[in-house]
Structure 1
Amino acid sequence: MELELGATLLAPLWMLLAFVGLGWLCARPLAIDPRPIATLLIYIIAPLTFFRGLTLGGPTPSHLLLTLGLFLVASLLAIAVSRLVRPFFPAEEAAVLAFSAGTGNTGYFGLPIAMVLLPPEGVTQYLFCLLGITLYEFTVGFYISARGQFSVRQSLVKITRLPLIHAFLAALLVSGLGVTMPAMLMDSLEVFPSTYTLLGMMIIGMTLGRVSIREIDARFVGACVAVRFGLWPLLALAAVLGLQALVALPDELAMVLLLLGVVPMAANVVVVAMELSIRPEKGAIAVLLTTLAAPLVIPLYLGGLTRLTGLQ
């Protein structure tokens, strides 16, 4: 299984690294500022991407339960890490680390793998789990990050201005009322998911293009890697084993949970850090290193975890 997964990862990995390289070229020779692009992602591209996905997916109560569950897990983990690391890191770095603890590259990197490994129902379940993590990023995660340098009131005001929440509620309303969106509108929104991936990964390269060797913080990067590739796989394993003991957990849902636990760090760590001006270069280094390690780590982790959970 490890060899098969390694081959599966090659195409998405090289694609993502090519996007990072494009971003680096934009930052170096062209001197393009990535901050307006981060703002565009947060306020325009991400909301439209998830509005389209939700209206096409037709959420059911069981799907929304997955979204709620992953939202709660991500939020609680970020809050716990935030309190744990405060004594050891400056406020801004602790905020970035706490934000990264609750999320992962479940979209840009994890979704292509899910589409190869899982049946259609499993992919749908993965998408609603992904939605829960994304909602965490732009609500609780954004608040925790903002609290690194803003007051409670300022942080909450920033959250209320995030249109992803409005897009989520609008999509639920459209689906609940049974409204059929015009085909022309849905066709025009097809470009946004690929744009979201492209710009999200390019921002990592743009940020790295401004980083010097002196800015590499091994302690901070090590903490990020430990949470992403140490804590999350253990949580995923515990969740699957616990659910298997309580209910008849479908194999595809078990694989969804395991995959969520082994993806690299989220590119949105850089996007949110850039929007809030809280050391995006440190987040970019950690995201790049975990992405480079993913082709080795993910096949090994998934192979071992599937054996432990009886999926093999």
Structure 2
Amino acid sequence: MLRLLLELAPCLLAGFWLGRRFPALPSQLAPPLLRWGMPLSLTGLLLKSGLPLSAIPMAGLIAAVTASGLFLCRQIPALLPARSLQLGAVVGNTGYFGLPVAIALLPSEALGFSVIYDLIGSLITWSAGPLLLSPGQSRASALSLFKTPVVQALLIALPLGMSPWGSLLGQWLWLPARVVLWLLLLLVGMRLGLVLQRIDQAEKRSSPSLTAALAIKLLVLPGVMWLVSVLLQLPALMQQALVLQAAAPTAMSVLLLAEAADAQNKGGEETIPAARLVLWSSGAAVLSLPLWFQLTAAM
């Protein structure tokens, strides 16, 4: 747990302060990180861990649990009235938050499993997310998922991993990959600082719908993933990777999609619930993720 805090806390706290002090900085840092840094980092992680082609069927399990969770959340509008809460309760910040956690707590062999989870989560977020929140923009957003960093990294890492230089490139890219992930954590902290500014003027007290979304994201979803992986008798390392990624806080992309939906539908009410869920889940995950790690490690 100490190692996790040493990995996460300095970057998140520094980013939080920078985001509050320099509001324009995240918009300047994000484009090069997403365009170049994130694909490079994911490529390095995949080459370092080895491409877990034997674990590709695991993608079906991830998709089934996530899609089923989203379907069930859609069936309880009285509990989760905002569509952004329904989406945010099941899709996590696996790229910026989950991967650093995996590096801090798990051996490098588990990184490939974590990247596969990030891939499936990205596909669901950028296909079902726009359809749920902004139906008129669903086609354009669905096409944009092919430009996501995890897809780009897979397209680069697959041929390199099968080449004689894959292992050597993985060693060379390991340190740059770690640096990029630290910068991404810094960016998460900056955006959380901006999110807090955004809801400063809104009602700050919690609500039953926010509490329910937090419970589903941080407790129910990883609990279901752990139970299913145990019943299927998956390898212990794969179980840990799946549970930790399922327990990642709500994805920042949910907030971006909510903002797009409110811009399209004047007077929409999706942004503030999404902002609250991103903020509170990110803070609570710093405490809940080590507990999930201890639970899965003990089994």
Query: In the comparison of the two structures, how many residue pairs are matched?
Result: 284
Contact 1:38-1:203 at 8 Å conserved across structures: no
Contact 2:226-2:239 at 8 Å conserved across structures: no
Give 3-state SS (helix, strand or coil) of 2:95's partner. Answer: coil
Contact 2:80-2:213 at 8 Å conserved across structures: no
Q: Match for 1:149 among 134, 139, 160? A: 134
Contact 1:45-1:195 at 8 Å conserved across structures: no
Residue 65 in 1 paired to residue 65 in 2? no
Contact 2:19-2:25 at 8 Å conserved across structures: no
For residues 203 and 33 of structure 2, what CA distance do their matches in structure 1 show?
A: 26
For residues 90 and 44 of structure 2, what CA distance do their matches in structure 1 show?
A: 24
Q: Match for 1:233 among 215, 222, 228? A: 222
Contact 1:51-1:168 at 8 Å conserved across structures: yes
Cα deviations by residue, 1:138-164 (Å, 9 ceiling, x for unpaired): 333x334xx32333xx31222213412
For residues 151 and 289 of structure 2, what CA distance do their matches in structure 1 show?
A: 34
Cα deviations by residue, 1:158-205 (Å, 9 ceiling, x for unpaired): 221341286267337645885979x7xx97x85654444332432222
What TM-score comes out, normalization by structure 2 length? 0.74
- Change beyond 3 A, Cα 1:274–1:204: farther
Residue 26 in 1 paired to residue 22 in 2? yes
Give 3-state SS (helix, strand or coil) of 2:211's partner. Answer: helix
Deviation at 1:77, TM superposition (A): 1.9
Deviation at 1:43, TM superposition (A): 6.5
Q: What aligned pairs does 1:54-93 form with structure 2 within 5 A after superposition?
A: 54=46, 59-81=51-73, 83-87=74-78, 93=82
For residues 153 and 216 of structure 2, what CA distance do their matches in structure 1 show?
A: 28
For residues 12 and 272 of structure 1, what CA distance do their matches in structure 2 show?
A: 28
Deviation at 1:11, TM superposition (A): 1.6
* Aligned equivalent of 1:8: 3
Identical pairs, percent: 26
State the Cα RMSD in Å.
3.7
Give 3-state SS (helix, strand or coil) of 1:108's partner. Answer: helix
- Change beyond 3 A, Cα 1:297–1:236: same
- Change beyond 3 A, Cα 1:148–1:40: farther
For residues 32 and 262 of structure 2, what CA distance do their matches in structure 1 show?
A: 15
- Change beyond 3 A, Cα 1:21–1:65: farther
Give 3-state SS (helix, strand or coil) of 1:265's partner. Answer: coil
Contact 1:78-1:102 at 8 Å conserved across structures: yes
Q: Match for 2:241 among 248, 256, 267? A: 256
Judge which range, 207-216 or 51-60, deviates more. Answer: 51-60
Judge which range, 109-118 or 47-56, deviates more. Answer: 47-56
Deviation at 1:238, TM superposition (A): 1.2
Q: Unpaired runs of 5+ in structure 1?
A: none
For residues 36 and 275 of structure 1, what CA distance do their matches in structure 2 show?
A: 20
Contact 2:80-2:212 at 8 Å conserved across structures: no
* Aligned equivalent of 1:221: 210
Give 3-state SS (helix, strand or coil) of 2:75's partner. Answer: helix
Please tell me the residue identity of whatever aligns with 2:4. Answer: L
Residue 294 in 1 paired to residue 285 in 2? yes
For residues 241 and 301 of structure 1, what CA distance do their matches in structure 2 show?
A: 14
Q: Unpaired runs of 5+ in structure 2?
A: 264-269
Deviation at 1:47, TM superposition (A): 5.3
Q: Match for 1:158 among 129, 134, 141? A: 141
For residues 13 and 177 of structure 1, what CA distance do their matches in structure 2 show?
A: 33
Deviation at 1:23, TM superposition (A): 1.3
For residues 211 and 267 of structure 1, what CA distance do their matches in structure 2 show?
A: 15
- Change beyond 3 A, Cα 1:150–1:126: closer
For residues 130 and 289 of structure 2, what CA distance do their matches in structure 1 show?
A: 30
Residue 116 in 1 paired to residue 111 in 2? no
For residues 64 and 276 of structure 1, what CA distance do their matches in structure 2 show?
A: 33
Give 3-state SS (helix, strand or coil) of 1:138's partner. Answer: helix
What TM-score comes out, normalization by structure 1 length? 0.72
Contact 2:113-2:238 at 8 Å conserved across structures: yes
For residues 264 and 288 of structure 1, what CA distance do their matches in structure 2 show?
A: 9
